A and B are shown apart, each in its own frame.
Chain A
C-alpha cells in the first residue's frame, strides 16, 4: 500500500493548529497560576475572618470540617479548605486544551490513515502520538480530581515535545520496516504511551510536592516564605498522595509494556530477552520505580528521598526516549531521524 501524501500534509497542518491552541492554553494556565497567589491571600483573610467565634460552633470537629466544600476540592497551601472560587483563566485553559487535543488527535489519526498503520512507527510519530496521550490522560484525570493547577506543567511539556518532534525528529510519512508489522506494535507501544504519560504527570506532581514540602518546612521553622504561585496548590501531603497514586497506576502499565515487549521479541527475534540497549533501559526504569514503591514502605526513605527516586526514574524515561533511541545502536533502532 502506498502513502497518501495529501493526507499526510493535512496531518502536519492539523498539528500546527494543535500547537497554536496548546500555546493559548498554556498562557491561560500560567495566568491562572499567577492569579493563584492573590487567590490564596484572599482565602487566608477569608479563613481568618471565618475563624471569629460567631459561626464556630456550627461545624463540629470531626464531621468533615469542609461542610460546604465538595469532595473534589483541593486544599490550599496552608491546609485551610478554600471556598469555591471561580477560576476563569483555568476554565479557559481547559477548554483550549480540549480544542488542542481534538486537533492533535485528528493530526495523529490523519497521519495513521495516510500510511494505513498505527501512527507510531518512528520517533516523530511516537512523540506526537505520545504527547496526545499525555493530554488525554491529563483531561481524564481532571474528572477524577481537580488537577487544573497542573495545567502549566502538562501543556508546557506537551508543547515542548511537539516542538522537538516537528523541528528535530520530523520524518516523512512512510511504511514500516517488516519487524514492526505486528499486532504487538499496537499493544506494546500504546501501553508504553499511557504509562509514559502517567509517569510524566506523576513527575510534574512530584516536583510540585518537593517545592511545596520545602516551603512548608521553612514555614514550620518560622522562616520567612515569600508568596508564590505554589500558595494556590494543594498541601504537600495531598500532592504526595496524588503522586503516589499516579505512579501506582503507571508502574503496572510499565510492567505490562515490558512483558508485552518480551512476548513480541520472542516472536520477532527468537528470544524474549536479549539485553538490547532499549531492553536494558526499560528494565532500569522498571527497577528504579520498583525501588520508589519499596522506598515508600521503608523507614527513613519516605517523603523527599522516595520523591527523589521518582525523579531519577523519570530521568531514565527521558533518557530511554531521547538518548537511547538515537545514539545507542540496537534492535530497537527505528528512530528514522536524519
Chain B
C-alpha cells in the first residue's frame, strides 16, 4: 500500500549459486514483493472480465446450454478452458490464491515490525533538521528548558508520542496509519476464509410453492438443492411453511417499457420452526426475507399455477392439481407440462403455454400483459409412455416425448387445445378430457443458509475501517531542538533558538502547518499565514 517501501529484490550482478533453499527464498521474495502483488492484482482484474461477458453456470445454467448450442465448435473449447465457470476455474483460483499468499507473506513480517515500532522509542533527532522536508526556525524569548517543555506539551496535545533526549524532542504520530493498513489486508484474508466457509458449510435450495400448498424443509421437497460438501443434507432444520396467499401488482398506467413492470410481490405464509412448534403468520416479500431457524427464506420468483384436471378414457380423474408454469418473458408467457401416468389405456401427457393475457396472432399464442386479464391455456397432447421409470431425472416443466405420439384430430390435424378457465375440452379418440378449473399463483422461494456470512460482514467492515485509517491518518515525525543564544542587549531575558523539522510517510499536505504550529507553541511567530488551515 501507500506506506510500504518495496524490499530490494534485484539480485547482485555476480550471483552466487543459490542452492535449493536459496532458490526457494528467492522465489518467496519475488512472490511477496510489491511489484508481484501489483501484477497479480491487475491480472485478477483482467481475469474477472470474461465472467461478465460469457454466461456462467453458477449464475444461469440455461444460458450456458444455449451458448453451447449456438457455438458448436468454439463452445466446447470455451468450456474446457473454464469459460463458463470463470470464478471457480483453476486459473482464476490460482491468481487469487497467489495474490493472497503474496499478501500474507508481505503483511505478516510487517505486523512483526509494526509491533516492534509501536513499543520502540521514536528515533533520535537527525543532526541537521534543515534537511528534512519541512523545517522552520526562530529565536524566541525564554530559556531552552521552558521552550522545549512548551513544544513538548503542544506535541502531546496533538496526539504525538514524545521522547526527550539531550535537549531535543523526537515525536511521532500516526502509527494508526500502518495499523489500519495491516487491518485492511488481514481483513481481506478473513473475508476470503469466510467466503470459502460459506461454500463448504452453507446450502441453498429453490422450490416453487403454489398458493394453498405447503413446503417442509427436507431434500425431497426441493426442486433443486445445492449443499456444500460439509453439509449433512439429511439433517436440515425441520421447519415448514404454507403459502396462504400472494399479492402481485404490475404497472398498468404507464406506456412503453414500464408497462407491465412489476410493482409489488408479497406472499403471506404460515411457518413452523418444527413439526410441534406453534405456527406463525408472516409475510415474505422482495427485500424482506423471512428468517427461520438459521435459514433465510427469500421470495425470488412468482408465476401462475393453473389448476388442471385430467380424466382418462374411462372418465376417471387421473390428475388434478395446481400445476406451476414457468414464466418465459416479462408478460409471463409461461411454459409447463402435465403428466398423468395413471391414465388408461395409455399414459397421457400435456405440454404447452399458460397465458395470463392471451393474444393469438401471427406470432402464435402469447401473452401481452403479466396480470390475469384474459387467462388461457394452449396445450398439445401426447399419449404413450411418459418414460418416468427411466433413471434420468426429468424436468417437471417438460415432457419426454421420445416414447409418445402426439394426438391428432379425426381429420389429421395436430390437437391444440385452447382452454379458458372453467372450460373442459375433450381429447380425440375417446382418450379423455382436460378441465381448466381456475388459476392460482405460485411463490418461487429460495431458502439459504450461510453460517459464515456474519464473519464476511465483520471482515468487510473491518477492512473499510482499516482502509480509512490507512489513507487518512497522517503519519508524521517531528523533531525539535533548542539552543541558548545571546540576548540582544544586556539586561534582556534569555533567548533561545528553536528549530523544528518534520517528515511524513506518503503524501501529506498538512506537514508544514504542523511544524509551524509547534514553533508557534514554543513561542515562535504565531504566523497568521503559516498556521492558516488548508482544510
Query: Residue A164 at the B interface, CB < 8 A?
Result: no
Residues of A within 8 A of B530 (CB): 64
Query: Residue A16 at the B interface, CB < 8 A?
Result: no
**1/0 contact trace for B87-116 toward A, CB 8 Å?**
100000000000000000000000000000
A171 to B450: give the CA distance in the assembly, Å: 38
A275 to B49: give the CA distance in the assembly, Å: 10
Query: Residue A52 at the B interface, CB < 8 A?
Result: no
Q: B263 contacts which of A67, A178, A274 (Cβ < 8 Å)?
A: A178
A293 to B2: give the CA distance in the assembly, Å: 6
A338 touches B257 (CB 8 A): yes
Query: Residue A281 at the B interface, CB < 8 A?
Result: yes
A275 to B87: give the CA distance in the assembly, Å: 8
A234 to B251: give the CA distance in the assembly, Å: 54
A266 touches B34 (CB 8 A): no
Query: Residue B154 at the A interface, CB < 8 A?
Result: no
Question: How many residues in A have their beta carbons less than 8 Å from beta carbons of B?
Answer: 70
Query: Residue B21 at the A interface, CB < 8 A?
Result: no
- Residues of A262-297 whose CB lies within 8 A of B: 262-263, 266-277, 280-281, 283-284, 287-288, 290-291, 293-297
Interface residues on B, range: 35 or more
**1/0 contact trace for B50-91 toward A, CB 8 Å?**
011100101100000000000000000000000000110000
- Residues of A155-193 whose CB lies within 8 A of B: 171-172, 174-179, 181-182
User: Mostly helix, strand, loop or mixed at chain B's interface?
Assistant: mixed
Q: A179 contacts which of B35, B45, B286, B461 (Cβ < 8 Å)?
A: B286
Query: Residue A6 at the B interface, CB < 8 A?
Result: no
Q: A324 contacts which of B52, B254, B296 (Cβ < 8 Å)?
A: B52
Query: Residue A336 at the B interface, CB < 8 A?
Result: yes
Tell me the smallest distance from the CB of B13 to a CB of chain A, in Å.
18
Query: Residue B471 at the A interface, CB < 8 A?
Result: yes
A182 touches B195 (CB 8 A): no
Query: Residue B285 at the A interface, CB < 8 A?
Result: yes
Residues of A within 8 A of B512 (CB): 64
Query: Residue A227 at the B interface, CB < 8 A?
Result: no
A280 touches B34 (CB 8 A): no
Nearest CB in chain B to that of A245: its residue: B507
Q: A177 contacts which of B49, B261, B461 (Cβ < 8 Å)?
A: B261
Residues of A participating in the B interface, judged by any CB pair closer than 8 Å = 2-3, 62-64, 67, 70-72, 143-145, 171-172, 174-179, 181-182, 241, 244-245, 248-249, 251-252, 255-256, 259, 262-263, 266-277, 280-281, 283-284, 287-288, 290-291, 293-301, 309, 324, 328, 330, 336-338
A230 to B130: give the CA distance in the assembly, Å: 34
A291 touches B42 (CB 8 A): yes
B261 touches A64 (CB 8 A): no
Residues of B within 8 A of A72 (CB): 534
A174 touches B251 (CB 8 A): yes
Q: A295 contacts which of B38, B204, B453 (Cβ < 8 Å)?
A: B38
Tell me the smallest distance from the CB of B252 to a CB of chain A, in Å.
11
Give me the 8 closest cross-chain CB pairs, A-B, nearest first.
A280-B52, A277-B52, A178-B286, A287-B45, A270-B298, A270-B448, A182-B287, A174-B258
Nearest CB in chain B to that of A179: its residue: B286
A252 touches B289 (CB 8 A): no
B457 touches A276 (CB 8 A): no
Tell me the smallest distance from the CB of A298 to a CB of chain B, in Å.
5
Q: A270 contacts which of B44, B49, B86, B296 (Cβ < 8 Å)?
A: B296
B257 touches A337 (CB 8 A): yes
Residues of B within 8 A of A293 (CB): 1-2
A303 to B6: give the CA distance in the assembly, Å: 16
Residues of B within 8 A of A280 (CB): 48-49, 51-52
Residues of B within 8 A of A176 (CB): 263
Residues of A within 8 A of B298 (CB): 268-270
